[in-house]
Amino acid sequence: MAKALANRLKSALPDTIAENQMAFIKGRQINDAILIANEAIDTWKQRKIKGFVLKLDIEKAFDKISWSFIDYMLAKKHFPHKWRKWIKACISNVQYSILLNGAPKGRIKAERGIRQGDPLSPFIFVLAMDYLSRLLSHLESKGAIKGVSFNNCCNISHLLFADDVLIFVEDNERYLNNLQMALTLFEKASGLTFNNSKSTISPINISAGRTDQIASFFGFQTKFLPVNYLGVPLGGNPRSRSFWDQTIECIHKKLNGWKYSQISKGGRLTLLKASLSSLPTYQLSTFKAPVSVYKEIEKHWRDFLWGGSEDKQNAHLINWNICTSPKELGGMGISKLKDTNQALLCKWLWRYHNESNSLWKKCIDAKYTKNHQGDIPVVGRNSSANSPWNAIKKWKDWYESKISWIPNDGSSLSFWHSKWHNNIPLSLQIPRLYALSNMQSATVKEIWDQGSDDWNMKPRRPLNEREQQTWDSIKMSLPRIHNNRGMCKPTWNPSDSKKYTVASAKDIAFKESSIPKETNWEKELKHLWRSHIPQKCKFFIWTMVHQKLNTMDNIQKRNPSMSLNPSWCISCRSSNEDMNHLFIFCPFARSLWNMWSSETGTPMVNTNVKDLCLQLCRQTGRNAKNIISFNSAIATLWTIWIRRNNLIFADKDSSYLNAWEDMHSHWKLVFKK
């Protein structure tokens, strides 16, 4: 029953919860609160306004909330009596037991609080916290408190993310007294209490003495900006290295917690892509990192991938630019941080065009309304370089070069400058007519004449015959405008779905910043990564195709002092060791390939190792015979490599028969995958 109520309640929350609450509401994101908070602080700093930022921690929020307060809030939101009765039954039917010597004893009936893990609990808590949000908004509307004002168009006194409360209040005795009374009223009404030891107050443009006085008044701790808010620094400088300390420290902790000396390179690649690469994403979603941070984080990635650490540096066998290439271009599909950062920041521009009523968009529009160029606000004098929007708007031209427009009502599109027709601005398609127009800054809707159901550019003089023919031709190709179809919508050209995705943006950013390759064999490697062999085998074959495996000839080129002398094949001791000799032409390898050929009914291998691997990649997955041939050939190559390493590092030899048995065990490993 709780699940059914939660699903129904979830759909009703966007219309009933104040827009300052960002948690558990469809269409609102945690990054919205981070963006608004940093823009608010930037506004105060730029205008030299004196104020305080209160970051409040609620003590045991779920455990202490009053049931009667929940029912009161449901009633105020006009939930039917039956609904309130159902919800009360779900939250009040709770009993607890105490563990004594490992066994539960007795039963204690709860009289307040909601359960962690209950699907209803997050939505009920958000409803309860809406009391505080409405209370603060009411006080602000009456002038009892004053928060941050974005050009008197949008006012922000507080932001909520579940139980994370952030309050902005100007330094004024009346405002501070009213805020204190509001917080006390909320505590008494809800049963919740603020944890004074964890709640902080941060001054902006205020002396230390005044800050201590107000901190003592509220009973909170003083903490100067930047402070940690929702996991990222609030009020800091994204261009400084210290701003990213928390993210880099998180990467260090993750690496220190892994005993990765025994992890295969395939395992490291999986961990890097699934875990390490995701750690900076949260902060990169709102802020642009400096190049030095990109390099530092990617260095940790490289060292981990190739088995190195701060104490020991292993050779990085393949250039990092190749590793960070898409799989179809011969890389591993590891995303460069710069491309990831760019794609994540451009998502704000896509959201700006698609979210008409979001609070963060209202704040941006209000703050930068005097600096609009087209339909995306740009940063002007009322913002500093620390503003998140300052970093986001830098990608405006790149983003706009990748989108087209569906005009709909045409109210937010520039007729001459937006790319809403043939992906080229009309000012460039028909520059002569553009120069003649008296409405060069008009929107599509303003050029469309509803009365005549036609386009009217209002030229400065009558058009001559040739100009009129050009204008008539353009008008015939323009779509009709419909006022009842809503606002204009962008389409993302690089994606088949025409919707913006971070993945497609990263791919485009990489291809535009990389040097085109003349060869096309890299495309074959995408089949390798799609195959079902173990990841360590994929990594092994991938390194082999790039001809960077640690054979004697490559070691000699990379570091002559580390290679054996002479650098001959450890197996036959009759020829220098390179990949072609080791895997194809060494007598030991030939014997294994003979066995492989007779076992699989495949012609004997007589090519170089790179061509062999590419040939195997082409045929993988097409039919059962090809799958058997591919997997068994991979197992044969793996067997040769393992035996070679055992000879060098463990002085352990194996006969042809033992090697054949090892190869069969490796076949099982490959086929099991």
DSSP string covering 392-411: HGGGHHHHHTTEEEE-TT-T
Listing DSSP states for 94-111 in one string gives -EEEEEETTEEEEEEE-S
Cα-based torsion angle of the residue sequence 650, 651, 656, 662 in order, rounded to the nearest 10 degrees: -10
Axis crossing angle, helix 587-600 with helix 624-649, rounded to the nearest 10: 160
* pLDDT, average across residues 100-106: 81
Residue 381 pLDDT > 70, yes or no? no
Closest CA to 648 of 591, 559, 563, 584: 563
Examine the pLDDT at 523 and tell me if it is beyond 70: yes
Least confident span in 12-16, 215-219, 541-545, 591-595: 591-595
Report pLDDT for 667.
Answer: 59
**Helix and strand totals (H; E) in the chain:** 30, 17
Least confident window among 54-58, 106-110, 495-499: 106-110
- Region of 516 (left: φ > 0; alpha: ψ -120 to 50; beta: rest) is beta
- The pLDDT confidence band at residue 373, using thresholds 50, 70 and 90, is very low
CB 565 within 8 A of CB 556: no
Query: Given pLDDT bands bounded at 50, 70 and 90, which one contains residue 374?
Result: very low
Burial of residue 399, with CB atoms counted within 10 A of its CB: 0-12 exposed, 13-18 middle, 19 or more buried: buried
Q: Output the pLDDT for position 617.
A: 83
Q: Determine the pLDDT at residue 659.
A: 63
Lowest mean pLDDT among 290-299, 332-341, 613-622: 613-622
Predicted structure pTM score: 0.89
Of 34 and 448, the one with more pLDDT: 34
Tell me whether the omega of the peptide bond preceding residue 462 falls within 30 degrees of 0, making it cis: no
CA–CA dist 89, 83 (Å, integer): 10
User: Which of 21, 25, 46 is closest to 33 using CA atoms?
Assistant: 21
Q: What is residue 345's predicted lDDT score, i.e. its pLDDT?
A: 97
Nearest Cα to Cα of residue 500 among 374, 281, 346, 378: 346
Residue 576 has a pLDDT of: 87
Residue 66: pLDDT band with limits 50, 70, 90: very high
Q: In percent, how much of the chain has pLDDT > 90?
A: 52
In the predicted model, is pLDDT for residue 353 greater than 60? yes
d(CA 366, CA 373): 14
Q: Is the pLDDT of residue 33 over 70?
A: yes
pLDDT at 242 over 90: yes
Please tell me the predicted confidence (pLDDT) of residue 564.
58
Look at 218 and 481; give whichever has higher pLDDT. Answer: 218
CA distance 168 to 56: 11
pLDDT at position 370 over 60: no
> Binning pLDDT at 50, 70 and 90, where does residue 657 land?
low
Q: Over range 5-20, report the average pLDDT.
A: 92
pLDDT over threshold 70, residue 641:
yes
- The stretch 521-544 carries a mean pLDDT of 87
| Residue-level pLDDT at 662 | 65
148-163 average pLDDT score: 93
Q: Flag whether pLDDT at 546 surpasses 70.
A: yes
Amino acid (1-letter code) at residue 18: A
**Residue recorded with tokens 């989108």:** 403
- Strands 221-222 vs 200-204: parallel, antiparallel or unpaired: parallel
For residue 555, what are its two tokens? 């070691």
The helix/strand/coil state of 362 is helix
Measured distance CA(353)–CA(371) in Å, rounded:
17
For residue 178, pLDDT over 80 is answered with yes
| Alpha helices (H) along 622-655 | 624-649
Res 660 pLDDT > 80: no
**Chain mean pLDDT for the chain:** 87
What does the pLDDT read at residue 125?
A: 95
What is the predicted pLDDT for the residue at 378? 66
Beta carbons of 526 and 615 less than 8 angstroms apart = no
In this prediction, residues 140-156 reach a mean pLDDT of: 94
Q: What is the mean pLDDT of residues 414-430?
A: 85
pLDDT, tens digit, 9 for 90 and up, residues 255-312: 888 866 678 899 999 999 999 999 999 999 999 999 999 999 999 999 999 986 556 6
Helix locations, 17-80, DSSP H: 30-47, 61-64, 67-76
Assign 566 a pLDDT band (cuts: 50, 70, 90): low
Domain boundaries, the chain: 2-234, 241-334, 522-672
User: In this structure, what token pair is assigned to residue 523?
Assistant: 């495309």
Give dist(CA 662, CA 658) in Å, integer: 6
What's the N-to-C CA distance of the chain in angstroms?
41
Evaluate if residue 198 carries a pLDDT over 70. yes
pLDDT at residue 245 is higher than 50: yes
Please give the pLDDT value at position 622: 64
Task: Give residue 672's pLDDT.
Answer: 53
DSSP label of 22: -
